[in-house]
Structure 1
Amino acid sequence: MKISGSVVLFHNKKEEVLKSIRSFLNTELDAKIYLLDNSFVDDLKELSAYDQRIVYTFNNINLGYGSAHNIAIKKSISDDVHYHLVLNPDVYFERGVLEKLISFMEKNKDIANVMPNILYPDGSTQYLCKLLPSPVDLIFRRFIPLKAWKEKRNNMYELRFTDYKNIMNVPSLSGCFMFLRIEALKKVGIFDENIFMYLEDVDLNRRLHQKYKTVFYPAASVYHAYGKESYKNKKLLMYHIRSAIYYFNKWGWFFDSERKFINRRTLNVISNE
């Protein structure tokens, strides 16, 4: 069983990235991990000396999140890899997680993407299972200062009412940890490179969800520092807004019949399980 992974770098702390790399390579599987460095200098190149299974690429330009990951995904497709993990540099996990996910995917050939339980370092749950977003979810929910309304909206949009205890087929899963079936990517495509940063995961997962299941699997867990940087950095906020505009221009703003159908179906299935 061949698996690959990719981590996009941009002036990250070496200790943090190394923790993520070690998590991925702590396995007996036939594994390879790609480090795609979007930094302006190649200071992180020394990370490749840690293990011969690391492939470092210095892009010498900030290509964006999805475009950089696509470099590794294309190589994995050409190498006939079975599964590819899109991994954030601030995610780490225990030995055995990859094997558990592979076992689950091998038993369920209709699944294209699986996301484990994503936890904060203190062990609390990150609510990263979501319905397909509307403009209300991505724009108004952020800027309207109505706490009670936001909590009610989040309870539904982020499926918090489920308590994240059971396996769920979810149309939008976080890009911090995407365990992808290569055969599905061959049919559906890879990240949309028109999206520089933010929502490329929503877009790809939506396309996968049209033809396969995209599943939350709580029997496996990983840890994610999750800084919500676009809430702190105005430049990143602008990237987020531009991505949202592109996404809604592509799929539909307030009139998106497929979104309405998929979200209603998701809620109906989850409520009846």
Structure 2
Amino acid sequence: MNDNLKTGFVILNYNDYSTTIKLIKSIKNYKSIDLIVIVDNCSTDDSYEKLYKYVDSKTILIKSDKNGGYAYGNNLGIRYLVENNECDIIFISNPDVEFEEDLILEIKKQFKTNSKYSVLSGVMLDINGDKVKAPYWNIPSYMYDLLDYFFIGRRINKKRFIVDYKQDIMQVEVIPGSFLGIKADVIKDIGYYDENTFLYCEEIILAKKLQNEGYKSGLITGISYKHMHSVSIKKTFKKIDTIKIFYDSKLYYNKEYNKVGKFRENILKIAAKISLLEYKVLEKICK
């Protein structure tokens, strides 16, 4: 990989221009980023008009023809940077993150000097700067996902993923989708994001596709970013609706990537119905 890595940055917006604008303002003067692409995912508010004010020689705004979900929207921006601008590194970020330019610089530096990794990120913190319980995670098996539908199962699955700060870079399986950098030739090679999910499981599917092709992901332990956790999603969907979408994505992932048969697929469908009922009962009890 050459020394002058051309860097693109993708931000996906849906009905949350205020959060997106805050991120644009914070990174627009970062010299380590060559191009910023904002994808407005067919917002139903006046996001496009609000965001258009920030278009300049460095910042591009794309309006999608439909709201096809997270993967669909991000792919529009990624393809624009890879195929039209020949970027070497693509950063993919949620609007609800905060980070210093050192994060970009360190990731680019590691891509130059450490050819082992195709995806890199820093350690995710919450908005207060505290460590989160899962700054990375493992690619889930069918049984893990099945247990995860239920309150007791989630307690069994519960695991704290510890960052080993003695290592400069930890090899991990799944990098959170809130912020990551990926080599352009790699994401093109694996066929970009799988657009068959609307929301959730994108980073798991990405990790599975990378693993299948022998690519490795790493967490740089000496740098970090803050994430406000699903600000845009909470503004758009009710909790029960997000759970339904999540379970649809889980089902697709297990069918297509864990290659479960019809019997195990039906078990997951039944588990989803029971789990949704469980959530509704718990909501009533909490109220």
Pairwise same-fold verdict (TM > 0.5): yes
Give the letter for the 2:256 counterpart. Answer: K
Structure 1 match to 2:120: 114
Offset from partner CA, 1:29-86 (integer Å, 9 cap, x none): 3521111112124434322323512211222531110011111111111121011011
The answer on 1:141 being equivalent to 2:148 is yes
Q: Over residues 107-127 of structure 1, what are the superposed CA-to-partner deviations in whole Å (9 max), with x where a residue is unaligned?
A: 112211112111001111121
Q: 1:163 to 1:3 in 2, by over 3 A?
A: closer
Q: CA deviation at 1:169?
A: 1.2
Aligned residues: 247
Gaps of 5+ in 1: 256-273
Residue 148 of structure 2 aligns to a residue whose secondary structure is helix
CA distance in 2, matches of 1:141, 1:95: 37
Match of 2:81 in 1: 76
SS of 1:191's partner is coil
Q: Distance in 1 between matches of 2:12 and 2:62?
A: 10
Q: Output the TM-score relative to the length of structure 1.
A: 0.82
Comparing 232-241 and 62-71, the one that deviates more? 232-241
- Decide whether aligned partners of structure 1 residues 136 and 225 sit closer, same or farther in structure 2, where only a CA change above 3 A counts: farther
**Contact residue 23 and residue 95 of structure 1 kept, 8 A:** no
Matches for 1:50-199 after TM superposition, within 5 Å: 50=54, 52=56, 53-78=58-83, 79-126=85-132, 127-145=134-152, 150=155, 153-155=157-159, 160=161, 162-165=162-165, 166=167, 167-199=169-201
What displacement does 1:206 show? Answer: 1.8
Tell me the C-alpha RMSD between the 2 structures.
2.4
Instruction: Name the amino acid aligned to 1:46.
Output: K
The one-letter code sitting in structure 2 at the alignment partner of 1:43 is S
Instruction: Tell me the CA shift for residue 242 of structure 1.
Output: 0.7
- Give CA deviations for 1:7-45 in whole Å, capped at 9, x if unaligned: 11111151x212222343331135211111121244343
**Large movers: runs of 4+ above 6 Å:** none
Per-residue CA deviations over 1:82-133 (Å, capped at 9, x if unaligned) read 1101100101111221111100111112211112111001111121311111
Q: Which amino acid aligns with 2:225?
A: V
Q: Distance in 2 between matches of 1:238 and 1:12?
A: 22
Distance 1:200 1:240 in 2: 10
Output the CA distance in 2 between the equivalents of 1:13 and 1:164.
36
TM-aligned CA distance change 1:90 to 1:137, over 3 Å: farther
Where do 5+ consecutive residues of structure 2 fail to align?
A: 262-287
Does 1:234 pair with 2:236? no
Identity of aligned residues (%): 21
Contact 2:139 2:207 in 1 (8 A): no
Q: Normalised by the size of structure 2, how large is the TM-score? A: 0.78
Q: Which is greater in Rg?
A: 2
Is the 1:37–1:60 contact (alpha carbons within 8 Å) kept by the matching residues of 2?
no
Query: 2 CA distance for matches of 1:182 and 1:100?
Result: 17
